[in-house]
């Protein structure tokens, strides 16, 4: 009998990639992430559950890629296509067993995936640990000890500031009736554990889905991501959002914009350095 706790080995050092398929009608058949984990990597599946690592049970992916360390499968990354940029893939989830974290596997995965799939990689709903890893490996930098600018774009559903500060975490937020607008951003607030999207031209333009029309430029709205449960558990970000003076006095996005604008030359020079 196979030991369910024994790690899958890849003696050739090449991780397996599961890919979507198409049926006879050319309909894309995506891969159910949690079921694929349960069927093939029970030790990772159990670790995910033990850590309460969130994977939406309905989520599926185009590509499921093993992450290796010393020729053993110690994690995975799941990818889907991007509705915003067809030259990109969205990293929906990345999970690495706790004892293998801190080895630069996130950065290796981004580099490998971008080469294998010939696509730029967008990170969906990064938690603070992911952002800290980007900082550690010089893929992001901090401004004013709080605001992060990342080389790797983040992608999140667009939310009103009211929703982002309502105390509801992403895992509990009902997206059923939402229109599914998404925002790309390079900015992350370390204090609030939030991806921050700034309006492209109208600085005061706050996102409100009920007021958005088909003619509107979705880039021209300020938005903030919902908190993640892991970030709230570890960093108390819901309480910090509720008590943030810039949010409470209505100047939050103005302040972020001012910092980004003041540092624009530094940011642009840094982003162009390979």
Q: What is the DSSP string of 143-181?
A: ETTTEEEEEEEEEEE---HHHHTSS--GGG---TT----
Output the pLDDT for position 274: 63
Output the pLDDT for position 203: 83
- How far apart (Å, rounded) are the C-alpha atoms in residues 18 and 30? 10
- H or E element: which one contains 186? strand 182-189
Task: Please give the average pLDDT of every successive group of 10 residues along the chain, which has 274 residues.
Answer: 77 95 89 97 97 94 98 98 90 98 96 96 97 97 97 96 96 90 96 97 89 86 97 97 97 96 94 81
Mapping DSSP to helix (H, G, I), strand (E, B) and coil, where does residue 216 land? Answer: coil
Output the pLDDT for position 216: 86
Output the pLDDT for position 2: 52
With beta carbons less than 8 A apart as the criterion, state whether 35 and 96 touch. Answer: no
Report the predicted TM-score, pTM, of the whole model to 2 decimal places: 0.94
**Residues near 59 by Cβ (< 8 Å), separated by ≥ 6?**
32, 33, 34, 78, 92, 93
Output the pLDDT for position 148: 98
- How far apart (Å, rounded) are the C-alpha atoms in residues 48 and 203? 40
- How far apart (Å, rounded) are the C-alpha atoms in residues 158 and 183? 6
Q: What is the DSSP string of 115-151?
A: HHTTSEEEEES--HHHHHHHHHTTSEEEETTTEEEEE
């Amino acid at each position: 009998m196979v030991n369910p706790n024994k790690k899958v080995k890849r003696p050739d050092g090449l991780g397996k990639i599961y890919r979507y398929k198409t049926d006879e009608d050319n309909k894309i058949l995506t891969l159910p992430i949690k079921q694929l984990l349960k069927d093939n990597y029970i030790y990772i599946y159990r670790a995910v559950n033990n850590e309460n690592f969130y994977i939406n049970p309905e989520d599926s992916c185009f590509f499921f890629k093993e992450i290796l360390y010393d020729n053993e499968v110690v994690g995975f990354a799941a990818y889907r296509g991007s509705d915003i940029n067809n030259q990109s893939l969205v990293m929906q989830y990345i999970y690495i067993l706790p004892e293998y974290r801190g080895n630069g596997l996130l950065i290796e995965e981004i580099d490998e995936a971008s080469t294998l799939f010939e696509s730029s990689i967008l990170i969906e709903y990064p938690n603070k640990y992911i952002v800290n890893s980007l900082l550690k490996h010089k893929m992001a930098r901090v401004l004013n000890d709080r605001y992060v600018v990342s080389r790797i774009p983040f992608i999140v559903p667009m939310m009103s500031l009211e929703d982002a500060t309502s105390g509801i975490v992403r895992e509990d937020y009902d997206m059923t009736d939402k229109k599914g607008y998404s925002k790309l951003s390079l900015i992350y607030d370390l204090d609030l554990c939030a991806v921050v999207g700034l309006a492209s031209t109208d600085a005061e333009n706050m996102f409100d889905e009920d007021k958005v029309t088909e003619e509107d430029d979705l880039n021209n709205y300020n938005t903030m991501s919902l908190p993640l449960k892991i970030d709230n558990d570890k960093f108390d970000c819901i309480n910090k959002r509720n008590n943030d003076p810039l949010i409470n006095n209505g100047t939050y996005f103005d302040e972020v914009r001012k910092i980004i604008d003041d540092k624009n030359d530094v940011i642009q020079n840094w982003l162009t350095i390979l």
